[in-house]
């Protein structure tokens, strides 16, 4: 059963952990959820100890009562499996299922997420409780969807992991000879002569073998996905409701989220901005565009956000008045069919007592709860958007192999960070008002006018050929420094970078990498400057657009353009400053013929179009500035059910297009 049909509109609610409270609070929850317009509550995420108080003995009585109560109150349930937090009895019975860090420390219970996914005892127990829940609640009228686990993120380097890793390596490489060749074990005397010598990349004296580290990331991602599929399939055997798991912000999970996107019935993400103000809005768009892309463009669900949570380094900042609504509509704009929070009621005790919630410690007579209630009202008016999608003409390439490959030991500069590069590329497009997809380098890219490849360190032969074809057939592609440098086995491309078919499309050959000193500037002939990185690039058909004017590379090309087939291949060999990177991206957009969904808005005002399969369209417009902003054209605003001509400072409209 489709979640949206079931809810009849957008989803709104949050993680509900009623086991922290007593009956009088539950009664107040019922009333407050109705008042706020909540229609979906995630229940049971951390409830293993209550559900299975001792091994194999289940107690569902308390959950029965809560599901019945929520159902009677008109609230659908996103029922979680509690497997992210095994209870203490589990640890004591199965110490071998506790995770081991790379330096050999075995962790203990007392927190959460303390398990090893490869331990048979853990996997068995997780499957068993998922099955028991599915058997009992598979067709419970309250249950609208299933939430497997929580943010698969724990890694482990134990003996179970070593055994599973060897099985995975055998399947991938076929033979020990092939593994030795792939990992380059001829160097540093690392040659393996039997499988049991092969270990996960634990703490070592110096650089760990890069091939081993990359394969471990791939292996772990496959293992986590298999753990998800175990539970999903146990649930599917007893329930026709959609199943998902919540994916997290970049880097938090060492997973290939594209693969998860294929296996979940609806992509769900958790999103907590990592900086305040306009950066939070850009980060929201980044998270939303990733989520939509992982699901191949399908509507997705914001499973968690914070009412008052902006993680900014060493402190948690509060959201400004109006940001609960604007961030939520930001997610809706980028294709979410609903927004939920962690959590409904702020804990009075326990590990997350200072984490924000829909009902704060202060209670319902509070700014936060008033903003939550206002959001519920707004979402109630946006039901017609449910099921509609977002289309993008620009894409940023996003590849897990490249990410993992850039995290192995021994990179030539510590200033190369995969997700930072991705964020910069996305941000330049977002600042230009352009809606952006993420895509993989081997995807069919033909629907995009412009593709940015900001960090494609690892590039397989197939992907290199795919990018060549994209340009030949009319695409505009910008490839940035340190891309196409290694193949799928992490072996350097010989004879010049990047990989040959891509070199053909770009009309250049990179001869040498020249990382810059910290704080060194590479000044270019067009007045822009690069930091962190430079390269010695040779023209092989491309034209020089800008050259280096300083340092060892003075006079050499820095930025190139190659008219290749029907398209254009651009290459940028340094990390351009933000302003000039934005200028370059604007130029590429103009040349590629891609632009904003709603042109004519000033900087800091975001507009994204959603489109229904039957052709109905809406513009979600968010004013992130402190100015009053006139709309290019007046339109019917669903939030006020009236014609809107302008946006107040920080204001939002959702325009139904004629
Ligand atoms: C994650 C978890 C939640 C909660 C929040 C806090 O998203 O899933 O349980 O811990 O972080 O931000």
Q: How confident is the model at residue 259 (pLDDT cuts 50, 70, 90)?
A: very high
Under a CB-based contact definition with an 8 Å cutoff, are residues 36 and 376 in contact?
yes
pLDDT in tens, 613-649: 999 999 999 999 999 999 999 999 999 999 999 999 9
Residue from 251, 270, 303, 340 to probe ligand 1 pocket by mutation (most atoms less than 8 Å from CB): 270
Q: Which residues line ligand 1 (CB under 6 A)?
A: 150-151, 270, 272, 304, 306, 342, 352, 355
Looking from the CA of residue 246, the nearest atom of ligand 1 is 8
Mutate to test the pocket of ligand 1, among 301, 309, 341, 342 (most ligand atoms within 8 A of CB): 342
Ligand 1: which residue has its CA nearest to atom 10?
Answer: 352
| Ligand 1 centroid – CA 385 distance (Å) | 27
Integer angstrom CA distances of residue 389 from 4, 296, 437, 474, 617:
14, 10, 12, 26, 9
Containing H/E element for 506?
helix 500-506
User: 517: CA distance to ligand 1 center in Å?
Assistant: 38
| For residue 151, pLDDT beyond 90 | yes
**DSSP strand pairing (268-270 vs 300-304):** parallel
H or E stretch at 61: helix 61-72
Six-digit token pair at 235? 């649930």
The closest-lying atom of ligand 1 relative to the alpha carbon of residue 45 is 9
Residue 248 CA: nearest ligand 1 atom is 7
290-347 tens-digit pLDDT: 999 999 999 999 999 999 999 998 999 999 999 999 999 999 999 999 999 999 999 9
Which residue minimizes the CA distance to atom 3 of ligand 1?
A: 342
Q: Which residues pair with 529 in a beta bridge?
A: 523
Q: Which atom of ligand 1 is nearest to the CA of 270?
A: 7
Residue owning the nearest CA to atom 7 of ligand 1: 270
pLDDT digits (tens, 9 = 90+) for 454-476: 999 999 999 999 999 999 999 99
Q: How do residues 159-175 score in pLDDT, each as one tens digit?
A: 999 999 999 999 999 99
* Nearest CA, atom 5, ligand 1: 342
Residues in the chain: 658
Q: What is the pLDDT of residue 50?
A: 97
Q: Alpha helix locations (H) across 237-321?
A: 257-263, 277-294
- The answer, yes or no, to whether residue 566 has pLDDT greater than 80, is yes
**Distance between CA 62 and CA 268 in Å, rounded?**
27
Using CA atoms, how far apart are residues 234 and 161, in angstroms rounded to an integer? 23
What is the band of 504 on the pLDDT scale with cuts at 50, 70, 90?
Answer: very high
Give the Cα separation of 550 and 462 in Å (integer).
37
305 CA from centroid of ligand 1 (Å): 8
The residues annotated with a catalytic role in the active site are 151, 304
pLDDT tens per residue, range 313-322: 899 999 999 9
From the list 212, 52, 201, 197, the residue with the least C-alpha distance to 136 is: 52
DSSP annotation of 527 reads: S
- pLDDT over threshold 90, residue 5: no
Q: How far is the CA of 342 from the centre of ligand 1 (A)?
A: 6
Cα 151 to ligand 1 centre (Å): 8
pLDDT band at 4 (very low <50, low <70, confident <90, very high): confident
For residue 498, cis peptide bond before it (omega within 30 degrees of 0):
yes
272 CA closest ligand 1 atom index: 12
Residue with CA closest to ligand 1 atom 4 = 342
For atom 9 of ligand 1, the residue with the nearest CA is: 342
| Ligand 1: centre distance to CA 184 (Å) | 40
Q: How far apart are CA 109 and CA 435, in angstroms?
A: 44
pLDDT for 353 equals 97
Q: In this predicted structure, what is the pLDDT of residue 1? A: 62
| Percent share of the chain, pLDDT over 70 | 100
pLDDT of residue 2: 81
Q: 518 alpha carbon to ligand 1 midpoint, in Å?
A: 35
Instruction: Find where tokens 């940015």 sit.
Output: 452
Burial of 550 per CB tally in 10 Å (0-12, 13-18, 19+): middle
* CA of 41 relative to ligand 1 center, distance in Å: 15
φ/ψ bin of 268: left (φ > 0), alpha (ψ from -120 to 50), beta (otherwise)? beta
**Full DSSP string of 171-219:** HHHSSHHHHHHHHTTTGGG---SSGGG-------SS---HHHHHHHHHH
What spacing in Å lies between the alpha carbon of 130 and ligand 1's midpoint? 21
Residue 485 has, within 13 A of its CA and on its CB side, a CA count of: 21
Ligand 1 atom having least distance to the Cα of 150: 8
Atom of ligand 1 nearest to the CA of 311: 12
Q: What is the pLDDT of residue 231?
A: 98
Q: Which atom of ligand 1 is nearest to the CA of 151?
A: 8
Mutating to test ligand 1, I would choose from 352, 353, 354 the residue with most ligand atoms within 8 A of its C-beta, which is 352
Tell me, in angstroms, the distance from the centre of ligand 1 to residue 519's CA.
36
Closest C-alpha among 574, 571, 494 to residue 530:
574
């Amino acid at each position: 059963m489709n979640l949206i049909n079931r809810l009849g509109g957008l989803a709104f609610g949050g993680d509900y952990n009623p086991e922290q409270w007593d009956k009088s609070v539950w009664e107040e929850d019922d009333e407050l959820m109705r008042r706020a317009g909540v229609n979906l509550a995630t229940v049971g995420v951390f409830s293993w100890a209550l559900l299975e108080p001792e091994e194999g003995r289940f107690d569902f009585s308390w959950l029965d009562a809560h599901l019945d109560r929520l159902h009677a109150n008109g609230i659908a349930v996103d029922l979680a499996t509690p497997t992210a937090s095994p209870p203490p009895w589990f640890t004591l019975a199965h110490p071998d299922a506790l995770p081991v860090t790379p330096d050999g420390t075995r962790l203990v219970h007392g927190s959460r997420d303390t398990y090893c996914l490869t331990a048979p005892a853990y996997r068995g127990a997780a499957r068993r409780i998922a099955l028991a829940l599915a058997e009992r609640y598979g067709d419970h009228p309250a249950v609208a969807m299933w939430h497997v686990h929580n943010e698969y993120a724990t890694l482990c380097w134990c003996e179970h992991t070593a055994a599973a890793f060897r099985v995975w390596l055998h399947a991938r490489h076929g033979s020990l000879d092939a593994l030795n060749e792939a990992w380059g074990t001829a160097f540093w005397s690392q040659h393996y002569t039997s499988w049991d010598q092969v270990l996960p990349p634990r703490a070592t004296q110096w650089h760990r073998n890069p091939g081993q580290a990359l394969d471990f990331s791939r292996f772990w991602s496959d293992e986590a996905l298999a753990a998800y599929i175990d539970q999903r399939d146990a649930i599917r055997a007893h329930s026709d409701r959609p199943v998902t798991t919540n994916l997290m912000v970049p880097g938090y999970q060492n997973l290939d989220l594209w693969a998860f996107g294929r296996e979940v019935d609806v992509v769900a993400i958790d999103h907590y901005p990592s900086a305040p103000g306009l950066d939070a809005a850009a980060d929201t768009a980044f998270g939303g565009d990733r989520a939509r892309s992982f699901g191949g463009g399908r509507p997705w669900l914001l499973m968690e956000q914070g009412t008052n949570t902006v993680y900014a380094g060493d402190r948690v900042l509060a959201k400004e008045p109006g940001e609960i609504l604007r961030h939520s509509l930001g997610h809706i704009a980028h294709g979410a069919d609903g927004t939920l929070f962690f959590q409904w009621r702020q804990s009075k005790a326990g590990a997350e007592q200072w984490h924000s919630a829909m009902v704060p410690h202060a209670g319902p007579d509070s700014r936060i709860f008033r903003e939550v209630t206002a959001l519920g009202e707004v979402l109630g008016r946006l039901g017609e958007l449910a099921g509609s999608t977002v289309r993008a003409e620009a894409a940023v390439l996003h590849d897990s192999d490249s990410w993992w490959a850039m995290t192995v030991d021994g990179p030539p500069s510590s200033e190369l960070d995969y997700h930072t590069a991705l964020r910069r590329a996305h941000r330049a497009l977002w600042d230009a008002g352009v809606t952006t997809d993420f895509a993989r380098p081997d995807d069919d890219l033909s629907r995009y006018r412009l593709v940015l490849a900001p960090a494609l360190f690892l590039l397989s032969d197939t992907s290199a050929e795919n990018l060549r074809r994209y340009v030949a057939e009319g695409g505009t592609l910008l490839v940035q420094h340190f891309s196409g440098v290694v193949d799928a086995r992490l072996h350097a491309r010989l004879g010049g970078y990047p990989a040959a078919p891509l070199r053909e499309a770009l009309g250049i050959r990179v001869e040498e990498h020249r990382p810059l000193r910290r704080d060194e500037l590479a000044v270019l002939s067009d007045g822009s400057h690069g930091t962190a990185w430079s390269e010695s690039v040779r023209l092989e058909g491309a034209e020089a657009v800008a050259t280096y004017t300083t340092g060892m590379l003075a006079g050499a090309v820095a930025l190139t353009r190659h008219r290749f087939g029907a398209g254009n291949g651009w290459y940028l060999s340094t990390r351009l400053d933000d302003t000039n990177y934005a200028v370059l991206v604007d130029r590429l957009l103009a040349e590629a013929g891609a632009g904003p969904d709603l042109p004519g808005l000033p900087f800091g005002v975001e507009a994204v179009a959603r489109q229904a399969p039957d052709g109905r369209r809406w513009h979600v417009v968010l004013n992130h500035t402190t100015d009053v902003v006139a709309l290019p054209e007046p339109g019917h605003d669903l939030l006020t059910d009236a014609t809107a001509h302008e946006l107040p400072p920080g204001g939002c409209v959702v325009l139904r297009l004629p």
